[in-house]
Structure 1
Amino acid sequence: AIIEELNGLREKDILFSSGRILGSMCTKPLPIAEKVYMNFLETNLGDPEHFLGTWEIEKRLIQIIKDLLHAPKNAGGQIVSGGTEGNLVSILAAKHLTGKTEIVVPKHAHFSFNKVANMMNLKLKVVDTSNTHTLEVGKLKNVLSDKTAAVVAVAGSTELGAIDPIQEIAELCDEEQLFLHVDAAFGGFVIPFLKDLGYDLPDFDFVVRGVSTVSLDAHKMGCSAIPLGIVVARDKEWFEEMSIDAPYVSRRRQSSLLGTRSGGPVAAAYAVISHLGREGYQKIARRCMETTYYTEQRLREIGLTTVIEPVLNVLGVRVNNLNEVVRGLLEKGWHVNPVERLSCFRMVIMPHITKQIIDEFIPDLETVCKKVGEI
């Protein structure tokens, strides 16, 4: 009876494979992730001496990510549940290192930094973005002070997929000896592979002098199972300094927020990354960008524009009647995300979105827009 009940409730969920979820930064995990996840369901990386094989997988996964991000030999890595925890751990490290009370973030920073500031009793100072919707370095200079614990830059913003001028920000932070965290939750698993393909995108990781920590999510463009993020610090001692005693488990000191941590997502991410390899991720990134450009073209054909030219596989579609358009699309079974601040709705062209799905979506969008007087 309980299985029937759960199956009935599951049927209320929208599946990524339906193609109807157009606004999410997550996607359907690869089949290998699902298979591996179940095999590691009982493992607990909070007490790793019981699960030595899973612990080894975690170490290997962290090394792969450190290599992807050009981290130095002395760098440290930590598995987290996703972007929010990655941001929290990074700012906690900055607070421990500096003892200061303010963090500086761009206007498009993820809402998790509001949580971070609230939880750590830090003052959040917000810097305006430019007309390209990236952090303005000139304005950043004006808000720095002797109380600044950390500066945040974004590589693949949640709203538009924009990339802040991290090289310039890092130079300033290096001069002022400030901690710089790069939130690459979305961009971390797409920017490196687009750069491989010749896309003109800025460096965002440890190849840039002055970057202190970088966080990225395997459950976004990494195509793995939720929840799995990784945060890497330039110096592994930073994690050690903020760790606390854990006297009754085999991992005697812990710097992670979570104690009990499933090995399932870790093993799944390791499997997906090993299965795809760099070439596999390049193919996914190329296909997503081709579909993104195709979508932008189809939008223009019906008289709609985007807030910025696509940088990554994210589109902010300008509309005046935002709530009416989003509601109308929902009534037709399409799920997009409203961004009220920019009067646009967000489309994220993830691997489950194809040109065929876009061809099905555009006529419905046109109908809705005409109905509410948008076009």
Structure 2
Amino acid sequence: MLVQLLQPGEDTLACLVEVFGLEGVPRRLTRISRGGQGQVWRLDLDGPPRSVAVKELFAGGDEQRIAAEVEFRDLAVAAGIRAPQNLRTVDGRYLAEVGGAVVRVSSWVNGREPRPEDPGVSEWLGRTLATLHTLEHPVDPDHALSDPPIPDLALWLDLAVQGEAAGRPWAADLARAAPELARLGAKTHPVDRGRLVFSHHDVQPSNVLFDPTTMQFVLLDWDGAGPIDPGRELASRLYTWHVRDDRFDTEGARQTLRAYRAAGGHAMIGEAEAYGGLPDALGYIATQVRDSLNHSLPVAMREHSTRETCLLLADTGSAAHDIFEQIIALGRTL
């Protein structure tokens, strides 16, 4: 697959303004962040001064799927969740091709990533998940995404050998982590399609902005919205928000669960739910490993995947099992 990356030149700026009917004169396009599937730019304009967010989607997008995501986002906003506004092109679409890259545009939101000490962060997480899980957006279980294949020990070791042959800095770490990754993968359970709800899928700190002056949280990156087991999502978010340095913040997690229940959240957490986020997590590691090795991708994308793989493997340790068991124990108190 040939990936065309956005180039922040004058032609790109002019095209963005024209295609999305933006008011003002484009001044500059600055890359703000990037992930495995895309990167976010800030487009600054004059007359009057304003900014918008431009998200570049490496694998393109599906207009119909995005329309369903936007519909769900609008329901969530009506229920009290703050989120950026999606902007349409002049012909009413959400996606556009600019300089060979596929992009979408939304309003710009100021803020920073939340911190554990921010007031109300645990309660906000619980209320937000409960709101998402009770919006009753239609779910078609027959079209829900299946879990990605979970690599076994042999595959992890084979990828480590390929990494060593290619001189990748993560090769030795992957070889050491392979038994633990395989052990974690063996704990996963199939999705129970009878319990699916339509939800955000990625309510993690990097997808939330906190404004200390207004004490407001804004939920970003709704691209992955779709069917999910609410227990899986709840357990996964307890892990991503309440684990620091391989230690589980039981009190913070308890505050989140209390807020979740108080706001009407109905999910339960058992072993299947506690380990339910692993297919996506392990699949993401495997994807970054393969992208790091894939010479058909642009150099910048390979380098990003190499760095991402090193970071992911540095966080892989035997403490994960103990933390999952603590989440299960806490889930029994729901």
State the TM-score bracket (shorter-chain normalisation). under 0.3
TM-score normalized by structure 1?
0.25
Higher relative contact order (CA 8 A, sep 6+): 1
TM-score (norm 2): 0.27
